[in-house]
Amino acid sequence: MRIRPTLSWTPAEDLPPGTTDLAPVVDALSAGGVLVLSGAGISTESGIPDYRGDGGSLSRHTPMTYQSFTATAGARRRYWARSHLGRRSFARARPNAGHRAVAAFARHGALSGVITQNVDGLHQAAGSEGVVELHGSLDRVLCLSCGAFSARHELAGRLEAANVGFEPVAAGINPDGDADLTDEQVVGFRVVPCLDCGGVLKPDVVFFGETVPPARVEHCRELVRRATSLLVLGSSLTVMSGFRFVRQAAEAGKPVLIVNRDPTRGDPHAVTRVALPLGTSLTTVADRLGVTLDGGPAQTV
């Protein structure tokens, strides 16, 4: 199954308003066995914008699709120029209170697992272990010809050497680490090939329109089967890649709880949606559980 490039979602029915009552979330975590599913909204307090919230990147930016990336050298040049510049700022982001709270819940024994739709690695940086990166990671690079993997920082060094003086000013940074640049700003950017076979390099992330590896999907489904409840953090659930796990949990009679300021595609399946900022909400939940968050304040891009 492929992720369709679904860029927006319009509720087909009147959804119940969000609440400010965190008690159901506290109760679920107290009971244990909670599976976390996080989205871009958990990283906004680290300075990484989300896709669809107020000021989200989709208001100014259409994400690269797999079909476009593989179709032309020009699309790949545009992607790598924007991604190369964006990574410099993206890599400076640090975990915020939301990420630290999730790690603390796991140390407290409240979680059965963490699935993230994000590619920023901030859950792991906050101390979460065994995180399933549903859409991959920007820290890895894949050759589409020979299948070799390599580290993103190694590619960054090669791109720096091939593009000395490339210092355009970006209009913004997007959730996928892509900087907002014009076509004129990327003219002349040199893309480097795979060192093993000379093939096309792609970040090890799932683009819109690309297949999530079946084994990864099945692993996530198994995590849902083992969980007692599903806690969605900062996701509109617009794309099927995450929404299917909400439907699976609900169909199995497992409570679905959502913390997201705006309505989501999963609201009809949820027992509650808390419409509060994630950092504040999860810090409050941690206090009520007597759980201590490690680390200091977030460093933003």
Q: Is 116 annotated as a binding residue?
A: no
**CA 17, CA 6: separation in Å to the nearest integer?**
24
48 is in an annotated binding site: yes
Tell whether the model's pLDDT for residue 116 goes beyond 90: yes
> What's the rounded mean pLDDT across residues 131-158?
96
The CATH label, of 1.10.730.10, 2.60.40.1730, 3.30.470.20, 3.40.50.1220, for the domain at 18-48+94-135+210-301 is 3.40.50.1220
Is the CATH number 3.30.1600 carried by domain 60-92+138-205?
Answer: yes
C-beta separation of 128 from 102 below 8 A: yes
3 is in an annotated binding site: no
DSSP classification of residue 60: T
Q: Per-residue pLDDT for 106 more than 50?
A: yes
Would you state the structure tokens that stand for residue 38, as one six-digit string? 């996080």
CATH topology identical between 18-48+94-135+210-301 and 60-92+138-205: no
Please report, rounded to a whole number, the percentage of residues in the chain having pLDDT higher than 70: 89
Does 127 count as an annotated binding residue?
Answer: no
CA separation for the pair 134, 147 (Å, rounded): 19
Q: pLDDT tens across 149-204, in order? A: 999 999 999 999 999 999 888 777 777 777 888 889 999 999 999 999 999 999 99
pTM, two decimal places: 0.88
Measured from the Cβ of residue 170, the count of other Cβ atoms closer than 10 Å reads 17
Residue 6: is its pLDDT beyond 80? no
User: Is 96 assigned to a binding site?
Assistant: no
Instruction: Kindly list the distances between the CA atom of residue 190 and the CA atoms of 73, 173, 232, in Å, as whole numbers in the listed order.
Output: 11, 21, 40
Q: Does residue 221 surpass a pLDDT of 50?
A: yes
Kindly write down the DSSP assignment for every residue of 203-262, as one continuous string. Answer: EEE--BTSBPPHHHHHHHHHHHHH-SEEEEES----SHHHHHHHHHHHHTT--EEEE-SS
Q: Are strands 111-116 and 229-233 parallel, antiparallel or unpaired?
A: unpaired
- The yes-or-no verdict on residue 215 having pLDDT over 60 is yes
Average pLDDT, the chain: 89
98 a known binding residue?
no
Q: Residue 225 annotated as binding?
A: no
Q: Is 209 annotated as a binding residue?
A: no
Reported as a pLDDT band with limits 50, 70 and 90, residue 51 is low
Helix pair 97-107, 278-289: axis angle to 10 deg? 30
CA angle, 150 then 152 then 154, to 5°: 75
278 is in an annotated binding site: yes
Q: SS3 for 130?
A: coil
Q: Domain map of the chain by residue range?
A: 18-48+94-135+210-301, 60-92+138-205
Band of pLDDT at residue 56, cut at 50, 70 and 90:
very low
Q: Are the C-beta atoms of 158 and 192 separated by less than 8 Å?
A: yes
Give, for 140, the enclosing helix (H) or strand (E). strand 136-143
Does 119 show up as a binding residue in the annotation? yes
**Amino acid (1-letter code) at residue 209:** G
Report residue 2's pLDDT band, with 50, 70 and 90 as the boundaries: very low
* Amino acid (1-letter code) at residue 33: G
Residues with catalytic annotation? Answer: 135
